[in-house]
Amino acid sequence: MRLRSALAAAFGAGVLLITTPASASAATGQFRYDYVTVEGYEASGFLNSPPSGQCLNLPGVGEDNPQPGHSPKNRTDAWATVFTGTDCAGDSFTLRPHTGGASERLKVRSVIFFD
């Protein structure tokens, strides 16, 4: 009887491990960039603690805005690779954690973070 209870407990624990979702990792900190709105105003965009390993199109500089973002600053604890196109396409540049930044010459539309 004890063996049956132990097996049932082990089986139950295995089912819980399989069905429990893995915690999503996120970069801690803030990623910032500047851009010109469709209306022609200067603006700053930012992502707070963005998810890692997932391509993110930057708000305000998608395909609906003819001008890309610029001057990215990576203040997260993860590496950030920025792309000139949406959906992490086009030329790319990698920014180091905490202090990575680039000038106005670097144009960006999407980013992905890696731990």
- The pLDDT tens digits for 52-111 are 999 999 999 988 899 999 999 999 999 999 999 999 999 999 999 999 999 999 999 999
**29-114, which class in CATH?**
mainly beta
pLDDT at 20: 39
Spell out the residues 6+ positions from residue 82 whose beta carbon is closer than 8 angstroms to its own.
72, 92, 93, 94, 95, 102, 106, 108, 110, 111
Domain ranges of the chain: 29-114
Per the model's pLDDT, the better-predicted residue between 103 and 11 turns out to be: 103
Predicted TM-score (pTM) of the model is: 0.77
pLDDT at 24: 58
Instruction: Using the predicted structure, report yes or no on whether residue 16 has a pLDDT greater than 50.
Output: no
